[in-house]
């Protein structure tokens, strides 16, 4: 296990460094394409509630996607980081209702719905640094979304799990641990790749 953890840390550093070199205009262009591709996903097109997050820095952008989902009438839930690294949730009511929080994050300023609110989601957008060809996601290492995925699994909930990444972040293999839960799809500005369903492991390119 220690080897896996060490391997994850090294990969995280490499990927975060690559993101830090991206020009802002490339980040913005990628966000526009990601929003368009993600909105066409059946997993999101048919969703009434989507648990998502607000991208910060040079993360693959989600803000246009959040606004488009809300305009479509989707109930969008955003995470609120708790002191123990678990996630509470609140409803996204627009960019003007986002407030600065710890670790540079942006959170909704409205009522807190409780950690179990994610169980209502038809789809969950997960932040990540990489996804491999098995659908295994590499996160930042805080463990918040491991708790979310465990909560979903424990309740028998089965929302679609989707990750937005840059093209170079879809890799052959990431270090994994027994508790790592594969995702259903990854969206990059160049492609949509599914790991479950009738189009297993097939790409649909833009």
Mean pLDDT of the region 142-171: 94
By CB atoms closer than 10 A (0-12, 13-18, 19+), residue 23 is: exposed
Residue 73 confidence class, pLDDT cut points 50, 70, 90: very high
Q: Name the CATH topology of 2-205.
A: Rossmann fold (3.40.50)
Q: How many CB atoms lie within 10 A of CB 93?
A: 14
Residue 5 confidence class, pLDDT cut points 50, 70, 90: low
CB crowding 176-185: b at 16 or more within 10 Å, else e? beeebbebbb
The pLDDT value recorded for residue 183 is 95
pLDDT digits (tens, 9 = 90+) for 109-125: 999 999 999 999 999 99
Say what the alpha-carbon torsion angle 18, 194, 43, 98 is, to the nearest 10 degrees: -10
The pLDDT value recorded for residue 3 is 45
CB neighbour list of residue 133: distance below 8 Å, 6 or more residues apart: 170, 171, 172, 173, 201
Mean pLDDT of the region 188-197: 88
Are 89 and 80 contacting, i.e. CB atoms less than 8 angstroms apart? yes
pLDDT digits (tens, 9 = 90+) for 96-154: 999 999 888 999 999 999 999 999 999 999 999 999 999 999 988 788 999 999 999 99
Is 0.85 surpassed by the pTM of this model? yes
Token pair listed for 48:
């009434």
The pLDDT value recorded for residue 72 is 95
By CB atoms closer than 10 A (0-12, 13-18, 19+), residue 118 is: buried
The pLDDT value recorded for residue 6 is 58
Provide the residue ranges of all domains of the chain, joining segments of one domain with +: 2-205
Spatial separation of the C-alpha atoms in residues 97 and 139, rounded to whole Å: 26
Spatial separation of the C-alpha atoms in residues 160 and 124, rounded to whole Å: 6
Residue 174 confidence class, pLDDT cut points 50, 70, 90: confident
């Amino acid at each position: 296990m220690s080897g896996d953890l060490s391997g994850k840390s090294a990969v995280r550093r490499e990927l975060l460094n690559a993101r830090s070199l991206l020009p802002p205009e490339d980040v913005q262009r990628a966000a526009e394409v990601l929003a368009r591709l993600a909105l066409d996903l059946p997993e999101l097109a048919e969703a009434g509630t989507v648990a998502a997050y607000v991208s910060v820095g040079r993360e693959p952008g989600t803000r246009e996607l959040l606004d488009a989902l809300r305009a479509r009438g989707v109930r969008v839930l955003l995470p609120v980081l708790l002191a123990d690294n678990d996630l509470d949730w609140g409803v996204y009511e627009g960019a003007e209702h986002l407030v600065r929080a710890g670790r540079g994050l942006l959170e909704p300023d409205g009522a807190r719905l409780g950690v179990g609110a994610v169980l209502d989601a038809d789809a969950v957008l997960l932040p990540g640094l990489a996804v491999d060809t098995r659908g295994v996601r590499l996160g930042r290492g805080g463990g918040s979304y491991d708790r979310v995925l465990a909560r979903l699994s424990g309740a028998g909930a089965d929302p679609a799990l989707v990750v937005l990444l840059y093209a170079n972040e879809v890799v052959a293999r990431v270090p994994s641990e027994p508790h790592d839960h594969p995702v259903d799809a990854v969206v990059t500005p160049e492609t949509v790749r599914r790991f479950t369903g009738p189009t297993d492991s097939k790409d649909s390119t833009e």
